[in-house]
């Protein structure tokens, strides 16, 4: 049994692992990728003969963080594995992380669990968004970083997050033709720029990288449009063209659309915290649209409301790699202090808290300036637009259910009636659109219309993986499944 199981090998998980292991804890990191780094620092397979490329200049610490974690004797690794549930027995302390890898399943037992699962791109439903060739910015970046692979030769990028410019710059550098980058929002106003000055210290290199990306795109002849949104994607077997239109400050279309031919459409409207495991464990969540949506509630020691469960990084709110690393360090130190009180290092804890405060100044600026206009995005779906890809539920289906049931005012009730969110993704693709529709039609804020729940398995795994877990006694509160015996060595 381990002292600490960390789910996620991004900046938060790696920093937490190092901090905890340095204080004598036995730590195991579980991640779906074969190598450490998470999405932002994704590495190519070890089979690639080329030398490791340096990470973005804005993160000079990234390479050392990964190297320190990979070489630490107190850190064990379970890679290429999906954590599809966390189980507990009400009569004992240890938690069990249910893991599926290479067609087999097992449970990894630990005294504490840290949820550092990162975030994923915000899905947006509009006509044609399910066509092959319509991809999220994170997926396109993943192909470039890990496989040196271009998904298409000619692309259009559309969204509202500044990382869209980074993705466009990476695509051009890899040899792609970027026909256009369409931003739904306008350029930052004078007041926005002025209010952001306090966040600049400590982030000069990051801002310089972003500015340099814009310069390189302009030199490459890439058209960068503002107050422009993608209204549809068309094509026979895959996307071949998109329609772009001007929008007002609320992201509502105000003019005729124009057609741009492309082989792929890359979307980047921001990110959503990956909170499925926290939901399955019964952790309390709070709604914060600027932070990405539903975020995991935690105290000043990064402990959640569920016994033995801690959180760090994007599940606390999408704030970037710097803040994720700082939160991970604090979480690792606090977990070590929890399990081994003699290991408390107040100076390192104070330094981590100071770092979090510093990074929050910058992340709040990004949140305020680039938060998505959810009402404008929800309005893009027409009656025949597929909202739930897993169950093929259209907007018309949802509108009809809400019309026929005037007292239905939550996403959970809508889910039960029309099956949106009941597929393998458990609502990761449709939850926000469904919530937006219910919110709009019932004139209630999203935090009041609620969210989908999560159950084991929180991610698609082979049926054999779930069946292989031996059921034992009933689970404790919030576990969402029966506890099981360990199915193999950790």
CATH superfamily for 2-120+272-368 is FAD/NAD(P)-binding domain (3.50.50.60)
Q: What pLDDT digit, counting tens, does each position of 112-122 carry? A: 999 999 999 99
pLDDT of the residue at 268: 95
In the chain, where are the structural domains located?
2-120+272-368, 125-268, 380-449
pLDDT at 76 over 60: yes
pLDDT of the residue at 482: 36
- Interatomic CA distance for residues 53 and 60, integer angstroms: 12
Instruction: Find the helix packing angle between 395-404 and 411-418, rounded to 10°.
Output: 110
pLDDT at 364 over 90: no
Give the mean pLDDT of 419-438. 94
- With a pLDDT cut of 90, the percent of the chain lying above it is 69
pLDDT of the residue at 485: 33
Class of domain 125-268: alpha beta
pLDDT of the residue at 91: 59
More confident residue, 92 or 42: 42
pLDDT of the residue at 88: 85
Give the mean pLDDT of 150-163. 93
Buried b / exposed e along 165-199 (16+ C-beta atoms within 10 A): bbbbbbbbeeebebbbbbbbbeeeeeeeeeebeeb
Give the mean pLDDT of 424-440. 94
Q: Kindly tell me the burial class for residue 71, based on how many C-beta atoms sit within 10 Å of its own C-beta (0-12, 13-18, 19 or more).
A: exposed
pLDDT at 157 over 60: yes
Give the mean pLDDT of 346-367. 87
Q: What pLDDT digit, counting tens, does each position of 376-413 carry? A: 999 999 999 999 999 999 999 999 999 999 999 999 99
pLDDT of the residue at 23: 94
pLDDT of the residue at 484: 36
pLDDT at 4 over 60: yes
CATH superfamily for 380-449 is BFD-like [2Fe-2S]-binding domain (1.10.10.1100)
Stated pTM of the model? 0.90
More confident residue, 255 or 387: 387
Q: What pLDDT digit, counting tens, does each position of 288-299 carry? A: 999 999 999 999
Residue 476 pLDDT grade (very low, low, confident, very high; cuts 50, 70, 90)? very low
pLDDT of the residue at 56: 59
pLDDT of the residue at 483: 35
- Radius of gyration over every alpha carbon of the chain, rounded to an integer in angstroms: 22
Does this chain's domain 2-120+272-368 share its CATH topology with 125-268?
Answer: yes
pLDDT of the residue at 470: 67
Buried b / exposed e along 46-65 (16+ C-beta atoms within 10 A): eeeeeeeeebbebbeebbeb
The tokens describing 262, both together, are 């492309």
Give the mean pLDDT of 20-37. 95
Query: Please, what is the average pLDDT of the chain?
Result: 88
More confident residue, 89 or 43: 43
pLDDT of the residue at 112: 97
Give 259's contacts (C-beta < 8 A, 6+ positions apart).
Answer: 241, 242, 243
pLDDT of the residue at 474: 35
pLDDT of the residue at 306: 95
HEC string of the chain equals CEEEEEECCCHHHHHHHHHHHHCCCCEEEECCCCCCCCCCCCCCCCCCCCCCCCCCCCCCCHHHHHHHHHHCCCEEEECCCEEEEEEEECCCCCEEEEEEECCEEEEEEEEEEEECCCEEECCCCCCCCCCCCEEEHHHHHHHHHHHCCCCCCEEEEEECCCHHHHHHHHHHHCCCEEEEEEECCCCCCHHHHHHCHHHCCCCHHHHHHHHHHHHHHHHCCCEEECCEEEEEEECCCCCCEEEEEEECCCCCEEEEEEEEECCEEEEECCEEECCHHHHHCCCCEEEECCCCEEEECCCCCCECCCCCEEECCHHHCCCCHHHHHHHHHHHHHHHHHHHCHHHCCHHHHHHHHHHHHHHHHHHHHHHHHHCCCHHHHHCCCCCCCEEECCCCEEHHHHHHHHHHCCCCCCHHHHHHHHCCCCCCCCCCCCHHHHHHHHHHHHCCCHHHHCCCCCCCCCCCCCHHHHHCCCECCCECCCCCCCCECCCCCC
Q: Among 100-104, 123-127, 201-205, 215-219, whose mean pLDDT is lowest? A: 201-205
Give the mean pLDDT of 443-455. 94
The tokens describing 185, both together, are 């929002």
pLDDT at 282 over 70: yes
pLDDT of the residue at 440: 95
Report cis status (omega within 30 of 0) of the bond before 262: no
391: β partners = none
Question: Closest Cα partner for 134 from 124, 143, 149, 144?
Answer: 124
pLDDT of the residue at 214: 85
């Amino acid at each position: 049994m381990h002292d600490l199981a960390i789910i996620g090998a991004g900046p938060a998980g790696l920093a937490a692992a190092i901090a905890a292991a340095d204080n004598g804890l036995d730590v195991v990191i579980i991640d779906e990728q074969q190598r450490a780094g998470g999405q932002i620092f994704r590495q190519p397979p070890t089979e690639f003969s080329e030398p490791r490329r340096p990470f973005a200049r804005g993160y000079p610490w990234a390479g050392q963080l990964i190297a320190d974690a990979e070489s630490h004797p107190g850190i064990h690794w379970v890679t290429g594995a999906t954590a599809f549930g966390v189980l507990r027995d009400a009569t004992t302390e240890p938690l069990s992380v249910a893991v599926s890898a290479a067609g087999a399943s097992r449970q990894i037992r630990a005294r504490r669990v840290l949820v550092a699962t990162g975030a994923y791109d915000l899905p947006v439903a509009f006509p044609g968004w399910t066509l092959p060739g319509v991809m999220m910015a994170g997926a396109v970046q993943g192909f470039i970083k890990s496989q040196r692979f271009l998904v298409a030769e000619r692309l259009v990028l559309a969204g509202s997050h500044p990382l869209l410019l980074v993705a466009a710059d990476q695509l051009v550098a890899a040899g792609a033709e970027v026909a256009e980058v369409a931003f739904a929002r306008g350029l930052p106003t004078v007041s926005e720029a002025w209010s952001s000055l306090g966040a600049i210290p400590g982030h000069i290199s990051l801002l310089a990288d972003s500015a340099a990306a814009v310069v390189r795109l302009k030199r490459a002849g890439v058209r960068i449009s503002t107050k422009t949104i993608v209204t549809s994607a068309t094509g026979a077997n895959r996307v071949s063209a998109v329609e772009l239109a001007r929008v007002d400050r609320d992201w509502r279309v105000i003019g005729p659309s124009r057609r741009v031919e492309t082989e792929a459409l890359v979307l980047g409207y921001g990110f959503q915290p990956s909170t499925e495991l926290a939901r399955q464990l019964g952790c309390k969540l709070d709604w914060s649209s600027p932070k990405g949506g539903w975020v995991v509630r935690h105290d000043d020691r990064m402990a959640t409301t569920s016994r033995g469960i801690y959180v760090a990084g994007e599940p606390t709110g999408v704030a970037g790699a710097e803040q994720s690393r700082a939160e991970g360090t604090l979480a690792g130190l606090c977990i070590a202090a929890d399990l081994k009180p003699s290991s408390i290092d107040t100076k390192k804890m104070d330094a981590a808290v100071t770092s979090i405060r510093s990074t929050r100044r910058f992340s709040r600026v990004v949140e305020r300036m680039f938060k998505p206009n959810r009402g404008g995005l929800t309005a893009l779906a027409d009656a025949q637009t597929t909202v739930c890809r897993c169950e093929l539920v259209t907007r018309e289906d949802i509108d009809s259910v809400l019309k026929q049931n005037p007292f239905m005012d939550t996403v959970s009730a809508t889910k039960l009636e029309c099956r949106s969110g009941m597929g393998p993704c458990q609502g990761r693709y449709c939850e926000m659109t469904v919530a937006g529709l219910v919110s709009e039609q019932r004139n209630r804020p999203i935090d009041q219309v609620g969210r989908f729940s999560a159950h084991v398995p929180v991610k698609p795994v082979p049926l054999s993986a779930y069946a292989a877990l031996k059921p034992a006694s009933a689970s404790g509160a919030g576990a969402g499944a029966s506890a099981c015996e360990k199915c193999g060595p950790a």
